[in-house]
Amino acid sequence: MKKKVIGLIDGQSGNIGSINKAIKEIIKGKPYQLKIIRGEFDYSLFNKIILPGQGAYATLISNLKKLKIYKPLKTYLENNRSYLGICVGMQILSDQGHEDKTTRGLGIIAGEINKFKSKKLIIPHMGWNSIRLKKEDSIITNNLDNKDFYFVHSYIFQNIKKSNVLANTHYGKKFPSIIKKGNIYGVQFHPEKSHKYGLNLIKNYILKS
């Protein structure tokens, strides 16, 4: 049986060690193989691509362009191929981000990334918080509703269509914590740092979506 290929993008915006380890554990003994993407790639060779991101929106976009990952990734996404973006890996799916300066994103899911605005909140939003499911999906089912996941971020996805929101989280105000368009997913939290519920989500994405 030919193995399905999962691509894990190293956009040089944080350590990919924990997500790498989680994926390897999930696919052990199953018909999948993991390949790290560190430069230009042939998007047709990949069945799924995961992009974990930490740090700034503009930095990740700049790194992807510098590494020649940006163009094949954009083509891959425009063809509605399977993708999971984590934290900033989710945010760059938007039209633009307003972190430090306005930066054009991948333009896959309409919306923009803006800073949390509140005098009463501690920013960044850091730590455990629950998600509220808007609709079930193969990666996120009722058994994950109201469960806690680990967040670290100062910016949120805004002006997004309701149809693209799978789950919300509340921190001072409601914001999208899981988004989807076709076969493309984004999560604002870090599932690889969210213990069993986060690992369940990654497992569902790899094996069920």
DSSP string, the chain: -PPEEEEEE--SSS--HHHHHHHHHHHTTSSEEEEEE-S---GGG-SEEEEEE-S-HHHHHHHHHHTT-HHHHHHHHHTT-EEEEEEHHHHTTSSEEEESEEEE---SSS-EEEE---SSS-SSEEEEEE-EESS--SSS-GGGTT-EEEEEESEEEES--GGGEEEEEEESEEEEEEEEETTEEEESS-GGGSHHHHHHHHHHHHHT-
Q: Which of 87, 99, 125, 153 is catalytic?
A: 87
Identify whether 87 is a catalytic site residue.
Answer: yes
Catalytic hit among 99, 125, 153, 192: 192
Task: Establish whether 98 is a catalytic residue.
Answer: no
Looking at 99, 112, 153, 190, which residue is catalytic?
190
User: Is 112 a residue of the active site?
Assistant: no
Which residues are identified as catalytic?
Answer: 87, 190, 192
